[in-house]
Amino acid sequence: MIGFNMRAAWAIYVREVMRAMRTAMQSLLAPVLTTSLYFIVFGAAIGGRMDSVGGVNYGAFIVPGLLLLTLLSESTSNASFGIYMPRFTGTIYELLSAPVGVAETLAGFVGAAVTKSLILASIILLTATLFVDYRIEHPILAIGYIMMVASAFSLFGFILGIWADNFEKLSVVPLLFLMPLTFLGGTFYSIDMLPDPWRSIALVNPIVYLVNGLRWTFYGASDVNIWLSFGITLGFLAACVAVIAFIFKTGWRLRT
């Protein structure tokens, strides 16, 4: 049995982190500006005219949703671009011919994407303190859940980067599917505020469970069963791992 090649995984990880750091200014500044605008528009302009939601000030209520919105988009885009570029330039064959397994490849590429996402999450939470007074009732669970979501969507982005055969396809899934589902997933509101049948329709959206899972770690309240939220997140992560294992086993989109 071949052991885990830590040196190979570390080399891939460092290369991907350094690649991300070359565009650190715009990568980190953009989420700060976007988050600030969200708080100004939703937190101040709209939130000032709304009652609290579930006993939580509206500005504080949207913090977990904004955090998840950034986690999903950044984790997906970082991982997809990270694996797509070696395919685009042809350097993927050097990786495939090297004594590097699936575990080392995932640890390197996905680990780098998760690291950048966690840095952005920290920056967003720090930015939020400038606008609202929020709390985190379960900080350990919040950190664990954030890492789980970042890992799951980094894996999803890895799959997307292997599937895409041009730059347009890299953005079509996040723009046409992921972003709309996130905005309709209770990011800025509680689904309990929706009348039927829209509330029942919203429950079909998997992002609802991710948003509420993170919101529960902040305020101890959720619109859905919290165990179902955790189960869906873990299930999605496991499904992504299974798909990637199949891709590397068959060489789909990697050797052609």
Query: DSSP per residue over 10-72, as a string?
Result: HHHHHHHHHHHHTTHHHHHHHHHHHHHHHIIIIIIIIGGGS--BTTB-HHHHTHHHHHHHHHH
Confidence (pLDDT) at 92: 79
Confidence (pLDDT) at 1: 40
Q: Is residue 256 part of a domain?
A: no
Q: Is residue 59 part of a domain?
A: yes
Q: Is residue 70 part of a domain?
A: yes
Domain that holds residue 204: 6-250
SS3 string of 73-106?
A: HHHHHHHHHHHHHHHHHCCHHHHHHCCCCHHHHH
Cα separation of 63 and 19, whole Å? 29
Render each residue's pLDDT in the chain as its tens digit; 256 residues. 457 889 889 999 998 888 877 776 767 777 778 878 887 777 666 766 777 787 888 888 999 999 998 889 889 988 998 889 888 887 877 777 777 888 888 889 999 989 988 888 898 898 888 888 899 999 999 999 999 999 999 999 999 999 998 888 888 888 888 888 998 898 888 998 888 888 899 999 999 999 999 999 999 989 999 999 999 999 999 999 999 989 888 878 776 6
Helices 24-38 and 6-21, packing angle to 10 deg: 70
H and E: helices and strands count for the chain: 12, 0
Q: Is residue 255 part of a domain?
A: no
Phi and psi at residue 185, in whole multiples of 5°? -100, 25
Quote the pTM value. 0.89
Q: Is residue 80 part of a domain?
A: yes
State how many domains the chain has. Answer: 1
Cα separation of 107 and 210, whole Å? 23
Q: Is residue 111 part of a domain?
A: yes
